[in-house]
Amino acid sequence: MAEAALPAWLQTLQQHDPDFAASYLAQRERILQDGAIPAKYKILMTMVVDALVAHPDGVYVIANRARAAGATEEEIREAVEVAYLFGGTPALVTAVNAFRRDD
């Protein structure tokens, strides 16, 4: 799951603790790859979590990552509904950032 541009927090971590950053990235890569649960569903799970913790830009980035992994718009919509079910209206307000598109 190589990223063209890493988020600012991860770039900072790489500058200050490159070994830990590399370890984190390797672990993230291993965990989020296809396994018993397909990668696109794992990525959608991370999108729901970001909605629950009110991280709108994270939801936006992760939704696009899920799309790149093969998630459909219907799957994105259902994940937004799951975020609402477990996080209420504040999570819903954050989760709708999944519908932002660059294209």
| In contact, 32 and 49? CB cutoff 8 Å | no
Q: For residue 75, tell me if it sits in a domain.
A: yes
Residues 26 and 71 in one domain: no
Exposure string for 60-71, b = 16+ CB within 10 A, e = fewer: bbbbbbbbebeb
Nearest Cα to Cα of residue 25 among 45, 47, 7: 7
CA-angle at 95, arms to 77 and 59, nearest 5°: 105
Q: What value does the mean pLDDT of the chain take?
A: 92
Q: Which residues form the domain of 66? A: 37-103
Could you give the number of structural domains in the chain? Answer: 2
Residues 27 and 45 in one domain: no
Give this prediction's pTM. 0.81
Q: For residue 59, tell me if it sits in a domain.
A: yes
Q: For residue 2, tell me if it sits in a domain.
A: no
pLDDT at 102 over 90: no
Could you count the other beta carbons within 10 Å of the beta carbon of residue 44?
A: 26
pLDDT digits (tens, 9 = 90+) for 58-100: 999 999 999 999 999 999 999 999 999 999 988 888 989 999 9
Q: For residue 21, tell me if it sits in a domain.
A: yes
Residue 8 has what pLDDT? Answer: 87
Residue 103 has what pLDDT? Answer: 77
Residues 20 and 57 in one domain: no
Residue 2 has what pLDDT? Answer: 45
